[in-house]
Amino acid sequence: MTDSSQAPDDGGPEHSGQPLDWASERTMNPLDTLMWRGDDDRRLRGTVCALELLDLVPDWDRLTAAHEWGSRMVPRFRERVMESPLGVGPPSWAVDPAFDLSYHLRRVRVPGEGSWPRLLEAVQQIAMTPLDRARPPWEAVLFEGLPDGRAAYLLKAHHAMTDGMGAIYGLAQLHSRVREPSPGKPQPPAPAAEPMSPAEVVGRQVARELSGLPAALEAASGSLTAVRHPRAALRSGVRYAQSVPRVLGLFAPPGSPLLRQRSLSWRFSAFDVPFAALRAAGKAVGATFNDAYLTALTGAFRLYHEAMGQPVNTMPVALPISVRRPGDTGGGNKIAMGRLAAPVWLADPYERMVTLREQVRAARREPAADVFAALGPALSWTPTPLLAVAARRTISISDLQASNFPGMSGDFYLAGARIERLYPYGPLPGCAVMATMVTHGPVGCLGINHDAASITEPALFARCIQDGFAEVLELGGAPDRVTHRG
């Protein structure tokens, strides 16, 4: 969301008073559907959070106006999910006729002395609370009472609304480059309410399936063409069939015995990573920033396991891979899943990074990386109980899921308050740890969400995170260290 009197990001569209083309799809895609219905199993609930640290407390009236304006510019924030009366098929999005901004936006004071740990305790309690499925699936909270007059802003939403790249795109469009108000900006009208009947929901489902027919016919035409080259078609089919189990994680290494326990309790922590130094470490090895990031995280797990007296050789890691294309809107989830057998046993960060680099490259080249898109129609029409079983089997097999996204460069503001940090927190879809990083100028803001039953020594784990990054940063000759916001 953004302030009603703020100018757009330099890279965003000029505000003509018309809503942005962000999350304009009227029905969920198959992966959105999987995430939405996965909430029936509380261990798979799909709540995502963005926590912004602000340099001052924004004016409440101005912040409220920001959300009113933002929910008009991005109507998805006024839309609720309409399930099919049949219980199958993709759900629809429709403007909530009873949209109430005062429910979605509230302010509280950080308990006690307003310390960072007390703030994170309050944030993780909110994150663990299920969203009201009868309303637009998001909430925002302004936290006051932090030291030195600072404040924090939490945006909580369901993963079915968008993936990480889409969320960053939306925030980039809606944050402001200036602190001061800019009166006279065009005001878009509130979107018209859509009281949908069950028959209309089914009608949308049928329309979506019909819209997919041209692609299906094109695929069928391609299959007929392949008959002319049966050997090549057979080789391609065999490669795809062999790839499917790998993408689904059926060949993943066993999880760590130390991290085996799972619960419903989330625990948040935050770290500041020197972005340029980590990128330099990757470059020194002929690898990418992402490779260096994964190497540091797996190094942290090696150190943690050794400190706990239970070292492991390999560990299953999931890596979301964005498949967004030019022209895609910011809504929905457009990701594939890469699977890694992280070489935790490799103590040398150089060797570990080279090994992970090759695994990541192989994961990106998997023929069946698009398997969720290929299975999409079948997934959408699978009854929820069976869908939950499939979800648990395919996404609940990793000890670590890690992702990172480019974020903000330069100063951005929310209702006149400068955003000093932005920490992302993904859900725990059955994994022990979810690590998410967003770059904010020279800093990589790392948000760690871990299962309280899996990581039983959080203070030790935090030190291992710092040490895991430190050994990687040394590869680039940097003296920088990762800061833990404790």
Which of the residues are catalytic?
159
Instruction: Report yes or no: 415 and 181 within 8 Å, Cβ to Cβ.
Output: no
CA atoms within 13 A on the CB side of 104: 27
Chain CA centroid to CA 71, Å: 21
Query: How far is Cα 66 from Cα 1, in angstroms, rounded to an integer?
Result: 6
Instruction: Report yes or no: 181 and 416 within 8 Å, Cβ to Cβ.
Output: yes
The sign of the torsion formed by the CA atoms of 392, 394, 395, 397 equals positive
Partners of residue 50 on adjacent β-strands: 155, 424
First-to-last C-alpha distance (Å) of the chain: 28
Instruction: Report yes or no: 361 and 419 within 8 Å, Cβ to Cβ.
Output: no
Structure tokens at 288: 């990418």
Q: At residue 448, what are phi and psi to the nearest 5 degrees?
A: -110, 125
Strand segments, DSSP code E, in 65-119 are 79-82, 92-95, 105-109
Chain CA centroid to CA 425, Å: 7
- The number of beta carbons lying within 10 Å of the beta carbon of residue 189 is 9
Q: What is the DSSP letter of 8?
A: P
